[in-house]
Amino acid sequence: MAVLDDLLEDLAAESGALDALLAPLEDAAWRTPTPAPGWTVAHQIAHLAWTDRVAALAARDPEAFTAMLTAALQESGTAFVDQEAERGAQQSPAELLAAWRADRHDLAAALPAVPPGGKLPWFGPPMGAATMATARLMETWAHGQDVADALGVKREPTARLRNVAHLGVRTRDFAYIQRGLPVPDSEFRIELTAPDGSLWTWGPETAAERVSGPALDFCLLVAQRRHRDDLAVQVVGDQADQWLNIAQVFAGPSGSGRSKGQFS
Q: Pairing between strand 234-236 and 209-214?
A: antiparallel
Within 10 angstroms of residue 26's Cβ, the number of other Cβ atoms is: 8
* Angle, CA 140 vertex, CA 15 and CA 35 arms, to 5°: 125
* Angle, CA 219 vertex, CA 217 and CA 222 arms, to 5°: 110
| Separation between Cα atoms, residue 234 and residue 240, nearest integer Å | 9
Q: How confident is the prediction along the chain (264 residues), in pLDDT tens digits per residue? A: 469 999 999 999 999 999 999 999 999 999 999 999 999 999 999 999 999 999 999 999 999 999 999 999 998 888 888 999 999 999 999 999 999 999 999 999 999 999 989 999 998 889 999 999 999 999 999 999 999 999 999 999 999 999 999 999 999 999 999 899 999 999 999 999 999 999 999 999 999 999 999 999 999 999 999 999 999 999 999 999 999 999 999 887 777 789 999 987
DSSP assignment, residue 191?
E
CA separation, residue 111 to residues 11, 105, 115, 224, 247 (Å): 12, 10, 9, 27, 27
Within 10 angstroms of residue 55's Cβ, the number of other Cβ atoms is: 26
What pLDDT, on the 0 to 100 scale, is given for residue 2? 62
Architecture in CATH of 161-246: 2-Layer Sandwich (3.30)
In terms of pTM, does the model score above 0.85? yes
DSSP-derived 3-state class of residue 54: helix
Give the contacts of 256 (CB within 8 A, at least 6 positions apart).
224
CA quadruple 96, 98, 101, 107: dihedral, nearest 10: -80
Sheet of 209-214: strands edge to edge? 199-202, 188-193, 209-214, 234-236
The alpha carbon dihedral of 89, 52, 23, 148 has a sign of negative
Architecture in CATH of 2-151: Up-down Bundle (1.20)
Q: Pairing between strand 188-193 and 209-214?
A: parallel
* Domain edges within the chain: 2-151, 161-246
CA quadruple 129, 196, 169, 84: dihedral, nearest 10: 60
| 127 strand-pairing partners | 120
| Separation between Cα atoms, residue 201 and residue 192, nearest integer Å | 6
| Separation between Cα atoms, residue 70 and residue 121, nearest integer Å | 12
Within 10 angstroms of residue 61's Cβ, the number of other Cβ atoms is: 13
| Separation between Cα atoms, residue 227 and residue 246, nearest integer Å | 11
